[in-house]
Amino acid sequence: MLTIKNLHAEVEGKKILKGINLEINKGEMHAIMGPNGSGKSSLASVLAGRDNYTVTEGEVWFNGKNLLDMAPEERAREGVFLAFQYPVEIPGVSNLNFLKTALNEIRAYKGLPALEAREFLKLTKEKQQLVDFHSNLMNRSLNEGFSGGEKKRNEIFQLAMLDPQLAILDETDSGLDIDALRIVSNGVNKLRDAEKSFVVITHYQRLLEYIIPDFVHVLYNGRIIKTGTKELALELEERGYDWLKEELHLKESV
């Protein structure tokens, strides 16, 4: 579904991604871990098309299409979704109107008619329950005055509404208390199916107790330096990242 080949990217002349290779198939759950500044969020941003990043080398293919050629909205319409680490507050744009616009733009792209108001509301009610997202937040301005937990739940709620093929969750667990973490993780788990793939970016193994990954990748200094299964996450929790860095330096100095 997603193939990343030798991806290099920089921001303001600073090299951030230095040759990422990653293959994600249908239905897989990938976790990307790594210390601060390793390039995890940058990878998410490059995949979603944030324009302050410049791709200097490499390719990204999504369902056979060149993702890097697409504007952010095209990527979303093709089925890529980024749950933001810091969801943006937009006063004056109601959550409801925002979602309706997004959903109908995606539907139009797929050649589907706009949803009737009744169908839209029905879908909204159903998906709200997934993450316990209160109805009274729906009519409020987008994320305005939401708590940290409410913002993150809103991201997962949007994910449920827009139903992408690939969801990238950028530190969705950061700033969540244990109850909110459980709610958000349950929501994600309910959305897992054979067609949908996830990339979960996180600092902490804690999230991966709730969302069980098929693969765990360690990103360091702009490259994936180790790939394993969920056990790797446990090992990282116990031993930190230093042993991996040392292993890497040994390898590079040989």
222 near other proteins (CB under 8 A): no
Stretch that binds other proteins, among 2-10, 83-91, 188-196, 240-248 (CB under 8 A): 83-91
Binding mask 39-68 for other proteins (x = CB under 8 A): ---------xxxx-----------------
77 near other proteins (CB under 8 A): yes
Rounded alpha-carbon distances, angstroms, from residue 42 to 34, 150, 163, 253:
12, 24, 23, 27
- CA 223 to chain centroid, in Å, comes to 18
Rounded alpha-carbon distances, angstroms, from residue 235 to 119, 218, 219, 220, 241:
47, 12, 15, 16, 9
Based on CB atoms, which residue is closest to other proteins, 88 or 178? Answer: 88
Distance (Å, rounded) from C-alpha 71 to C-alpha 127?
27
Contacts of 55 (CB under 8 A, 6+ apart): 7, 8, 9, 46, 68
Rg over CA atoms, the chain:
18
Stretch that binds other proteins, among 76-84, 120-128, 176-184, 205-213 (CB under 8 A): 76-84
Residue 10 corresponds to which tokens in the numbers above? 């920089």
Stretch that binds other proteins, among 104-112, 116-124, 196-204, 229-237 (CB under 8 A): 104-112
106 near other proteins (CB under 8 A): yes
Site for other proteins in 149-208 (CB under 8 A): 158, 162
| Closest to 169 in 3D by CA, of 39, 63, 29, 35 | 29
Distance (Å, rounded) from C-alpha 95 to C-alpha 120?
13
140 near other proteins (CB under 8 A): no
Stretch that binds other proteins, among 1-9, 53-61, 77-85, 202-210 (CB under 8 A): 77-85
241 near other proteins (CB under 8 A): no
Count of residues of this chain found to bind other proteins when the rule CB under 8 A is applied:
30
Stretch that binds other proteins, among 7-15, 21-29, 95-103, 240-248 (CB under 8 A): 95-103
Q: Are 68 and 20 within 8 A, CB to CB?
A: no
User: To the nearest whole angstrom, how small is the minimum distance from the Cβ of residue 148 to other proteins?
Assistant: 16
User: Would you tell me which residues interact with other proteins (CB under 8 A)?
Assistant: 48-51, 71-73, 75-77, 81-82, 84, 87-88, 90-93, 97-98, 101-103, 105-106, 109, 141, 158, 162
